[in-house]
Amino acid sequence: MSKVCTLSEAISKFVKDGDHIVFGGFTTNRKPYAAIHEILRQGLKDFVGEGGPAGGDWDLLIGEGRVLAYTNCYTANSGVTNVSRRFREAYEKGTLNMEDYSQDAIMLMLHAASLGLPFLPVRLMLGTDIAHKWGISKEVRKTIPKLPADKFVYVENPFKKGETVMALPVPEIDVAVIHVQKASFDGTCSIEGDEFHDVDIAVASKRCIVTCEELVSDEEIRKNPEANSVPGFCVDAVVHAPYGAHPSQCYNYYDYDNPFLRMYDGASKTAESFAAFVKEWVYDVPDHYAYLDKLGASRLLKLKAVPGLGYSKDMTKEAKKNG
């Protein structure tokens, strides 16, 4: 059965106000920006977000006031913005409910979700400020139904009397959105390079949307089954969205767009310039292909990854150097 649809159809059908939502990728790597732009265009809001290692993806949603509560280890466009600016301002002003876990804890929590575990026992964070200081109080948690009642609880190790461990909540994910290099009609996905937490969230989520660089036939993707990462039965919608991770990178396809990330960094410094940026690059652009037209072919071609290097580089200079 084909799961292929347009981006507008996928978002309108599978993303709902108030969803517990999580995105794949890692800060400036394989972030599903095309889908995030469409979520903004459709006015969806009140998300409980599982940020993990986030970047401009969550910064856009937070800046537009679409996030009710946010679980995170850090949010940054690495190498450009050490802490994403809309996220930082919202938290400092007290307008964002944000809970902080260590990165390894969040990754294990997402993996536990894929395994269907009721909670995650760890020694991580014991004795640290991340444990002692809660970003979202028990009182506020009671007002947000999709948040666990506690950041964690201490429990005794049932196999070693007297040893205390920390039981972390396992996310109950409504919808996961990931961007991959290749996907087939039935939803089977091939992820090249680091998978990050994408496989875990695809497995754990109630609904999963995949955007892809290349849409291939079911027969084609089965030729190399060892290269496939996500089985089709985990996926609800497949959207062909070339450069769907721009301005982040997509391994073996294109590099991150550093000038664009710097432009966003400057624009996100104030609420006014951020609003102007989002209007120009999201709301005034009807769909992803119009976004690509606005970027321009030459800009996108310059981002193409060089085979053997994995990032973009003008190889004509290298060729001249080597005679």
- Is residue 318 over pLDDT 80? no
The answer to the question of residue 218 being in a domain is: yes
Peptide bond into 247 cis (omega under 30): yes
Buried b (16+ CB within 10 A) or exposed e, 288-312: beebbeebeeeeeeebebeeeeeeb
The answer to the question of residue 123 being in a domain is: no
Summarize the confidence of residues 166-173 as an average pLDDT. Answer: 97
* Enclosing domain of residue 72: 7-116+173-240
CATH number of the domain bearing residue 189: 3.40.1080.10
Tell me how many domains the chain contains. Answer: 1
The answer to the question of residue 214 being in a domain is: yes
Looking at residue 314, its pLDDT comes to 86
The answer to the question of residue 46 being in a domain is: yes
- Is residue 322 over pLDDT 80? no
What's the length of the chain?
A: 323
The answer to the question of residue 197 being in a domain is: yes
- Is residue 48 over pLDDT 80? yes
Taking the chain, what is the end-to-end CA distance rounded to the nearest angstrom? 53
- Is residue 321 over pLDDT 90? no
In tens, the pLDDT along 202-245 reads 999 999 999 999 999 999 999 999 999 999 999 999 999 999 99
The answer to the question of residue 106 being in a domain is: yes
The mean pLDDT of the chain is: 96
The answer to the question of residue 85 being in a domain is: yes
The answer to the question of residue 77 being in a domain is: yes
Q: What is the pTM of this model?
A: 0.96
